[in-house]
Amino acid sequence: MSISTSMKTIVLATVLSAGTAAAVGMNLVAERSGAAVNDPISINPVAQQTEQPKVEVVFVLDTTSSMSGLIDAAKNNIWSIASSMASADPEPDMRMGLVAFRDRGDDYITRVMDLSQDLDSMYVSLSNFRAQGGGDGPESVNAALHAAVNDVSWSQDESTYKVIFLVGDAPPHMDYADEPQYPEILRQAKAKGIVVNCIQAGNQTNTRKVWQQIASLNQGEFFQVEQSGNAVAVTTPFDDKIAKLSRELDETKLFYGSEEKRQRLEAKEKASRELFASVPAAVQAKRAEYNTKAAGADNLFADSELVEDVASGKVELDALPEKALPKPLVGLDKSEQKKLVEKTAEKRKQIQEEIAALGKQRQAYIADQLKEEEVAKSLDGKIYEAIRSQASSKGLRYESGPSF
């Protein structure tokens, strides 16, 4: 057993279009909307109709040099935070996004990763961030908030829980007369039904004052963490086994569709392979637990995974043209194709059940080792409590506590 209280900030956010996710230097646009325009595939419209509640979360993150510890911690904390957010009853459809910001004169002022369900690609993008610049006091907080409110594809559905977490250690420039300032931006956020919460890293008095005001102007919450963050990191005896099963689960994916779509999904798979090659077992275990949830299925299977779509009735296997089939099915007759899909589905179900069972044991192990006050003080716990309180107005109930 290894337990350490370490920095882990949730600067989560999400990466969109899997094919461009690693290109951190540009604004990205999410792509999760069913078959491509020219896909020659018959989709069952009835099977696509769902009434899942929706949660949309954007983290607005200061990426200057003083925030380096938080950025490093964020990528390892994506999955546990996402699992906490997905643990509502009823379980929501989740999208996450990120606005990274620095200041004028730095490499960039803002970089926007639009709302998406593809957390694998987001993880890779976060890994590419390097905290640089800053060191001269105020940062471009106003520009970042404006981008989060206006440059992100928020749902127009009033029943969607929409929330921003502003994370940083320096106050905004209020001397840039050529850009909107936070009082006006917060009015825009309120009009769109977006709640803005503020997380202060460190203890600068001038930052605290502004962060508290920003939160109060939009019925959000304010809380403070250490400069390096303060969350709970736990390694368990179940991590290696869950990580192994996670890799096996990924191997059951059979993407189909147009050549263009499969190339895009292959880019997503590249992100997943990078993840398996570079992250510790404990992080892979968190990812696996998240992927067993309904929200995690969107991250794992994207929008054109054959086994999932055949099982749900979204697509008829017999209706797929040869050129749309995944490679393992090409050249097989219809009966052989059906047998392969059924065999893969059976294997996948068994793996998912094993991961779910081990995941429960992992969470029980963690709960047994942690003190209640340690959870309450952690960044993970504070974010969970903010979401639990605010999302209740949208009919979402959080009762199980944060995941780790």
- Mind listing the pLDDT tens digit for each residue in 94-153? 999 999 999 998 889 999 999 998 888 777 777 777 666 656 679 999 999 999 999 999
Where would I find the beta strands (DSSP E) of 72-214? 93-101, 110-116, 161-168, 194-201
Helix (H) or strand (E) segment spanning residue 291: helix 281-291
Q: What is the pLDDT of residue 209?
A: 94
Rounded to a whole number, what is the distance in angstroms from the first to the last CA of the chain? Answer: 15
- Mind listing the pLDDT tens digit for each residue in 265-287? 877 787 788 778 878 898 899 98
Instruction: Say how many residues make up the chain.
Output: 404
Question: Comparing C-alpha atoms, which of 198, 105, 104, 203 is closest to residue 148?
Answer: 198
Which residue's entry shows tokens 């929008």?
Answer: 303
Architecture of domain 2-234+371-394: 3-Layer(aba) Sandwich (3.40)
- Mind listing the pLDDT tens digit for each residue in 188-224? 999 999 999 999 888 889 999 999 999 999 889 999 8
Q: What is the pLDDT of residue 354?
A: 96
DSSP class of 303: T
| Mean of pLDDT values over 362-379 | 81
- Mind listing the pLDDT tens digit for each residue in 316-328? 999 899 899 998 9
Q: Is residue 143 a contact partner of residue 101, using CB atoms and an 8 Å limit?
A: yes
State which of 104-108, 123-127, 335-339, 365-369 shows the largest mean pLDDT: 335-339
Cβ-based neighbours of 88, under 8 Å, separated by 6 or more:
53, 55, 391, 396, 397, 398
For the entire predicted model, the pTM comes to 0.80
Helix (H) or strand (E) segment spanning residue 84: helix 68-85
Q: Is residue 17 a contact partner of residue 28, using CB atoms and an 8 Å limit?
A: yes
Q: What is the pLDDT of residue 230?
A: 67
Taking the domains of the chain in order of start, what are their residue ranges? Answer: 2-234+371-394, 236-365
Say how far apart CA 58 and CA 213 lie, in whole Å.
19
